[in-house]
Amino acid sequence: MPCIVNRRAQFAASHRYWLPELSEAENIEKFGAGTRFPGHGHNYVLFISLAGELDEYGMVLNLSNVKHVIKREVTSQLDFSYLNDVWAEFQQTLPTTENIARIIWQRLAPHLPIVRVQLFEHPELWADYMGNAMEAYLTISTHFSAAHRLAHPNLSNEENSEIYGKCARPNGHGHNYHLEVTVKGKIDPRTGMIIDLGALNRVVEDYVLEPFDHTFLNKDIPYFAEVVPTAENIAFYISNLLRSPIEELGAKLYKVKLIESPNNSCEIYCTDSESDSVSATVNQPVLARV
């Protein structure tokens, strides 16, 4: 029986974004505060996903052995280190979150059946690497607060109440929405980045947070005058807003995840086609809202 198991590890390290072939002004323009000497640090959290068949003892791998391999090959070397100097790879390609994940994969792949490396720089920024050459995924998370009412404009109050329950009450209700935006792209062989992180944050701020935060979605966002602002529809709309600006930054929008509440979230996976088609994964049926 095939199975994937995950092992968590962590390390604390510092790094600096600086390319010696660029001037100080050029480095600051490209990397901002990340250029400050002697660097800055993070408490990194690492998840290693491993695949295999269940053995007679009910295990894919002996996780005690996995722990020791990760410590020997990765965390004992990176913990309390200055990343730019600790591994030669980071002198060629800067130790961004996505590039650290890639190099960790390379260090562990000869010893473990890895299928994914996920590295959190902090709770609102993480990278995923699946062993596909220089391709990686980078996720930023943020939030906004908004109110909405679930009611189809062509239905009566009674019909809407039957479909959406309490969520159809005339004066609406609100949520603290948690938003995750995942982009994918090729890691630049020198900067270690798949996208300008500052520019990505500005795109999400300008296209989503500024217009959405502290609004009544049905009334303040024209799109939702005729479209019911379910979590699914909100996530779909956000994905369409972000797709082109992210492509202009040189990456592709891969996923938008919107967490409406601890019990209800939606994920929109964007396709590689030129159309606006998307696929959605929802952890609760559209009409089950109470």
User: Catalytic residue positions?
Assistant: 167, 214, 260
**What torsion, rounded to 10 degrees, do the Cα atoms 198, 97, 103, 1 define?**
-120
CA dist 87 and 77 (Å) reads: 9
Tokens of 263: 């019990």
Please, are residues 235 and 267 in contact by the beta-carbon 8 Å criterion?
yes
Residue labelled with tokens 């935006």: 181
What token pair was written down for 76?
A: 């004992």
Rounded Cα gap, residues 249 and 252, in angstroms: 9
**What is the spatial distance between Cα 113 and Cα 115, in angstroms, rounded to a whole number?**
7
What separation in angstroms does the CA of 207 have from each of 141, 145, 180, 210? 15, 15, 14, 7
Gap between the Cα atoms of 133 and 264, Å rounded: 35
Give the Cα separation of 188 and 251 in Å (integer): 11
* E strands, the chain, in order: 2-15, 40-53, 81-82, 114-122, 125-129, 135-148, 173-186, 215-216, 252-261, 264-270, 278-282
Burial 30-54 (b: 16+ CB within 10 A, else e): bbeebbeeebeebebbbbbbbebee
Which residues partner with 233 through β-bridges?
none
Three-state SS at 11: strand
